[in-house]
Amino acid sequence: MTLTFYKYQGTGNDFVIIDNRQELFNKNDTKYVKFLCDRRFGIGADGLILLENHPDADFKMVYYNADGNESTMCGNGGRCIVAFAEFLGIFKNTTTFYAIDGLHHAKIEENLIHLQMKNVETIDTFTTHHFLDTGSPHHVQFVDNLKTFNVKAEGEKIRYGAPYNQAGSNVNFVEKINPNTFAVRTYERGVEDETLSCGTGVTAVAIAMYDSGESASNIINLNVEGGQLKVSFDKVEDTYKNVMLIGPATQVFKGEIEC
Ligand SMILES: N[C@@H](CCC[C@H](N)C(=O)O)C(=O)O
């Protein structure tokens, strides 16, 4: 049997995406998902996404990390699946879909995907870092010389260390470029390496920078290794609402693989 797949990337965070509306994909085969994401023996990706039917929305997103395990929300994957759903003709202009963290609204304007992320109420602030959940858990920490920083080695120590331990956290290292712009490099849990971009990660960085007074702007530019993203939000009392992750998402190729 052959499996048809699509490859997408959003600022260099890359995904295998499969139209699973007929529910033919075996969702419990962790080893097979890991194989599809393997860059040497499989197709190669940071994660795999299934597009499925949902009774109350245009579609449902199911996300797996490259290690083969289903995980929490993926912001760049969310932007890519919106582009894929539009390509399939599921919607025009605006859409709503379900992901593991609830309902998301999205639109496509001038080739950019605007994805509404979940509200953020809690930000834990420490002397060295911030921790918050933007759909996935994120540790946010300033470093000097981000360009030459060893993201994999330092990220791995934090991801597996206390208080995160085995459950882990994604780890974002940040440098301020100007009051509205931050450079970010992310170590991703479940990929267990640096990726070129992390959507929930830059969302966490933008909110943490505003919350800690590093930025007074509610529209923040994020420079990641794979390109540029924007995050906007409104702070209403103590909650960050209307959180939007904005950036490109591109179909790279379509293929078939034996399964
Ligand atoms: N690439 C992602 C985050 C994916 C989830 C993460 N690896 C986790 O398991 O927490 C993004 O763009 O948000």
Which superfamily, per CATH, for 2-112+249-258? Diaminopimelate Epimerase; Chain A, domain 1 (3.10.310.10)
Q: Which atom of ligand 1 is nearest to the CA of 170?
A: 10
Q: What is the DSSP letter of 166?
A: G
Q: What is the ipTM of this complex?
A: 0.95
Among 64, 65, 132, residue to substitute to test ligand 1 (most atoms within 8 Å of Cβ) = 65
CB 8 within 8 A of CB 84: yes
Say if ligand 1 is within 6 A of residue 78 CB: no
> 60 CB less than 6 Å from ligand 1?
no
Single-letter amino acid, residue 131: F
**For position 143, what pLDDT does the model report?**
98
Which one, of 222, 229, 217, 226, lies nearest residue 205 by Cα?
A: 222
* CATH domain 123-247 topology: Diaminopimelate Epimerase; Chain A, domain 1 (3.10.310)
Query: What is the SS3 assignment for 96-157?
Result: EEEECCEEEEEEEECCEEEEECCCECCEEECCCCEEEECCCEEEEEECCCHHHCCHHHHHHH
Query: Does ligand 1 have an atom closer than 6 angstroms to the CB of 172?
Result: no
- pLDDT tens, the chain, 259 aa long: 899 999 999 999 999 999 999 999 999 999 999 999 999 999 999 999 999 999 999 999 999 999 999 999 999 999 999 999 999 999 999 999 999 999 999 999 999 999 999 999 999 999 999 999 999 999 999 999 999 999 999 999 999 999 999 999 999 999 999 999 999 999 999 999 999 999 999 999 999 999 999 999 999 999 999 999 999 999 999 999 999 999 999 999 999 998 8
Q: What is the pLDDT of residue 114?
A: 98
Domain with CATH 3.10.310.10 in the chain: 2-112+249-258, 123-247
**What is the rounded distance in angstroms from the CA atom of residue 14 to the CA atom of residue 77?**
8
Q: Which residues, including other chains, have CB under 8 Å from residue 152's CB and lie 6 or more apart?
A: 187, 193, 194
- Which pLDDT value is given to residue 1? 87
At 248, which amino acid appears? P
For residue 259, the model assigns a pLDDT of 84
Q: Say if ligand 1 is within 6 A of residue 189 CB.
A: yes
Backbone angles phi, psi at 7, to 5 degrees: -110, 125
Best mutation site among 200, 224, 229, 243 for ligand 1 pocket (most ligand atoms within 8 Å of CB): 200
**Is 198 in the active site?**
yes
Taking alpha carbons only, the member of 99, 17, 71 closest to residue 3 is: 17
List the residue whose alpha carbon is closest to atom 10 of ligand 1.
Answer: 136
Position 258 scores a pLDDT of 87
CB 238 within 8 A of CB 207: no
pTM of the predicted model, to two decimals? 0.98
Report CA 172 to chain centroid distance, whole Å.
12
Residue whose tokens read 């360009």: 147
Q: Is the dihedral of CA 63, 175, 147, 183 positive or negative?
A: positive
Annotated binding site for substrate: 13, 65, 75-76, 170, 188-189, 199-200
Does the active-site annotation cover 37? no
Instruction: Give the Å distances, CA to CA, from 184 to 73, 120, 175, 178.
Output: 19, 20, 7, 13
Ligand 1 atom 8 nearest Cα: 189
Pairwise CA distance, residues 88 & 71, whole Å: 25
Distance 1 CA to ligand 1 centre (A): 30
